[in-house]
Chains A and B, each alone.
Chain A
Amino acid sequence: MARIRFENVEKKYANGFHAVKDLNLDIQDKEFLVLLGPSGCGKSTTLNMIAGLEEVSDGRLMFDDMLVNYTPPHKRDVAMVFQSYALYPHKTVYDNIAFGLQMRKAPRDEIDRRVRDAAQKLEIAHLLDRRPSQLSGGQRQRVALGRAMVREPSVFLMDEPLSNLDAALRISMRAEIKELHQAMQTTFVYVTHDQAEALTLADRIVVMRDGVVQQVGSPDDIYERPQNTFVASFLGNPPINYIDGTIEVTDSSTARFVRGDLALTLTEATARKLADCNGREVRLGIRAEDVDETAQGGEGSVIRGKVNSVLPVGSDQFLGFDFYGEELFFRVGKDLSHRLGDDVALSVDLNRLHVFDKDSGKTLIW
């Protein structure tokens, strides 16, 4: 049982680096929370603060109703899995997994039962006598998971645990981690820079940048209703396309986005939110997959351009698209073939447009 609360938490290093700024976050008991962001955004620092491996410079960090700012790691009931596995090279797999329980003076038969249980679940029972150096990357990661599992901690922390694995293994381990969360019924905090991991695993995602939380929400929230251009760009493959232009408001329920020849009619709901934005410079976001090449788009929903590049990706293809000197990328089906220089017209899903303030990058519609 653990609910974790950050109240105005700051982390500053001795060299002046401000890693985490005014963090307020309420992690619910048994929640799977993913901290997502580019390297240096403060996500690992945040995780380390939960573990007690980094001191909190300012603010309050609470486990349930207990202040843990000054509680050392070994007195917090947390377990952690590291990107580099961090197995003890001088110990066997068995002793690696058992170490946490031994340190907590668990009875020997209890340790043995739990270690063998975990090894069974992770399918590493036949490796218990080996040393870490005799294991493959995937096996090492399982040992690291086992080491955390047997502790049955109230908080399970993972710092990019899958980054060092190859692509196929990563996907299967992802599924196992999700099962593990369901089986363990405990709070998981997971750090990654991989959007796919975040979207598949999380109950809620926290997107961070330069030590500041950009958005907290369900994977759907984060993907469908990004609060700013950073969040919008960070998720999506290929990344969201931006077109700078102006809003033309006709009346309180009708508005258009205009850039040169392009004029997109906004939905009524969007238009209402932009009612007082007539003439405002905005940045329009269109996700790569929110276009349809085959649909007959009506006037006000079509974007035209010349094909710059064609990148087949198996299931479908990416079209590189020149638009006023900017390269836009869209994901289209494989039914139609394209050659460089072809003129194409794509019908845009107007319900899924994102409108951001051009200067601040903040959303104007969600």
Chain B
Amino acid sequence: MSDKTLTQPGGIDYRRRQRLARLAQTLVILAGAIVLTIYVLAPVTWLVSSSFQTEAEIVSVPPHWIPDEPTLQNFEAIFSATEEEEITYETRSGQDPASGGFIPSTAKNLLPAMWNSFLVATLVVILNLLVGVPAAYALAKIRFWGRDASVYFILITRVIPDIALVVPFFLVIKNLGMLDTIGSLVLTYLAVTVPFSVFILVQYFEGLPDELDKAARVDGCSRFQALVRVFLPLSLPSLVAVVLFTFLTSWNEFLLALMFTQTEASQTLPIVLAAFTSDFTISFSFINAAGVLAIVPPVIVAVIFERYIVSGLTAGAVKG
């Protein structure tokens, strides 16, 4: 093709114009991506940054995104808050909120709450896998009467908002004598998360060829062995999705925890964190340091498991 055919009547080289258009498109996408990134990361950045600032620096205008004088005293305050150190109106009034030395009255509950949250989330993850995996295998690979109805029923339970379930849940938990126990949270979180876990796993198992199941069983596996020895190794991505989903859901859950827990015996992190904001005086530095601690475990879990979410595990199983 000659250059003439590429030149438009306006005299601008057509190819150059196309390059410009592509460049403009790239710039628009880049600008959009930057705005979105700032929108997503700004709150987290501020949380982390301010946890290393004194109360005075936090409230300064304009805000310091990078602390002038980074300090660990907020974290020290969290880890040194103990039962013995009784906090009353008098002791608190002697503290100086502006310096960050101020500690909320429920500060000592923070670390036990974190442990509670971790315990609840871990139990919910384990039980989800124990219940969800066999259930999903059965629903995906065994044809039985009422199978489709079961899948729909399980899905429908996800449509009901949690708030609608609070009262019935409360009555059940109360009658079981489980109020203010970790068990009450594990039980209700399972009710909320298992349907979704089963749904994720059913979708995934259905995508695995039936012939693999048949081959395993002819090769000498019982149903259970076929599940454990053939399906589970291939389902790693969906198992990781379930682990992440259930862990994060349990870790962050607020409403049910607010209803069923009353003391540090069972209170979880979101409840204790929220209580800091309803104290006599609010210490932003302390709250933000607590907030940073609260996001550490989920971030660790996500980083550990994220690399297992890979596609293409089943490549080569059957003729594609």
- The answer to whether A binds B is yes
Chain A positions near chain B (C-beta within 8 angstroms): 13-14, 48, 51-53, 72-74, 78-80, 82-90, 99-100, 103-104, 131-135, 137, 140, 147, 151, 157, 164
* Chain B residues with CB below 8 A from A147, complex form: 215, 219
CB within 8 A of B313: which of A89, A137, A151? A89
Contact A135 B316 (CB under 8 A): yes
Q: Which residue of B lies closest to A48 (CB)?
A: B214
B219 touches which of A89, A99, A133 (Cβ 8 Å): A99
Q: Are B319 and A164 in contact (CB under 8 A)?
A: yes
Quick one: CB contact mask for B51-73 with A, threshold 8 Å, 1 for yes? Answer: 00000000000000000000000
Check A87 against B317 for contact (C-beta < 8 Å): yes
Q: With A14-B145, A88-B212 in contact, is A72–B319 under 8 Å at CB?
A: no
CA distance A132 to B320 in the complex (A): 12
Closest Cβ of chain A to B172, distance in Å, is: 35
Is the CB–CB distance between A86 and B212 below 8 Å? yes
In the bound complex, CA of A48 to CA of B211 (Å):
11
B314 engages A80 (CB within 8 Å):
no
Which of B144, B214, B215, B313 touches A90 (beta carbons < 8 Å)? Answer: B313
Contacts of B318 in A (CB 8 A): 82, 84-87
Chain A residues near B12 (CB-CB < 8 A): none
Determine whether B220 belongs to the interface, using a CB cutoff of 8 Å to chain A: yes
Closest residue on chain B to residue A104 by CB atoms: B220
The majority secondary structure among interface residues of chain B is loop
Q: Which A residues are CB-close (under 8 A) to B315?
A: 89, 133
Pick the contact of B211: A79, A84, A151 (CB < 8 A): A84
Inter-chain CA distance A14–B143, complex, in Å, is: 9
Number of A-B residue pairs having CB atoms within 8 Å of each other in the complex: 96
Question: Roughly how many angstroms separate A72 CA and B225 CA in the complex, as a whole number?
Answer: 13
Extra A-B contacts (20), CB below 8 Å, given A53-B217, A147-B215 = A14-B145, A51-B214, A53-B214, A73-B214, A74-B218, A74-B220, A79-B218, A83-B319, A84-B209, A85-B319, A86-B212, A86-B215, A87-B317, A88-B215, A89-B234, A89-B315, A89-B316, A100-B218, A104-B220, A132-B317
Q: Which residue of A lies closest to B316 (CB)?
A: A133
Q: Which among A72, A84, A100 has the highest number of chain B CB atoms within 10 Å? A: A84
Question: Scoring B residues 200 to 223 as 1 if CB is less than 8 Å from chain A, else 0, what string do you get?
Answer: 000000000101101111111110
Q: Decide: A73 near B316, CB < 8 A? Known: A14-B143, A88-B212.
A: no
Mind listing 6 A-B residue pairs with CB under 8 Å? Answer: A52-B217, A86-B209, A86-B215, A90-B234, A132-B317, A151-B219
Asked if B233 is an interface residue, CB under 8 A from chain A, the answer is yes
- Of A14, A82, A99, A131, the contact of B214 (CB 8 Å cutoff): A82
Nearest CB in chain B to that of A132: its residue: B316
Interface check B230, CB cutoff 8 A: yes
Chain A residues near B212: list those with CB within 8 A: 86, 88
Contact A103 B221 (CB under 8 A): yes
Which residues of chain B are near A151, meaning CB under 8 Å? 219
**Which of B217, B314, B319 is A74 in contact with, Cβ under 8 Å?**
B217
Closest to B143 in A: A14
Task: Tell me the minimal C-beta distance from B260 to chain A in angstroms.
Answer: 42
Q: What 4 A-B pairs come out closest when comparing CB atoms?
A: A133-B316, A103-B220, A132-B316, A86-B211
Chain A residues near B313: list those with CB within 8 A.
89-90
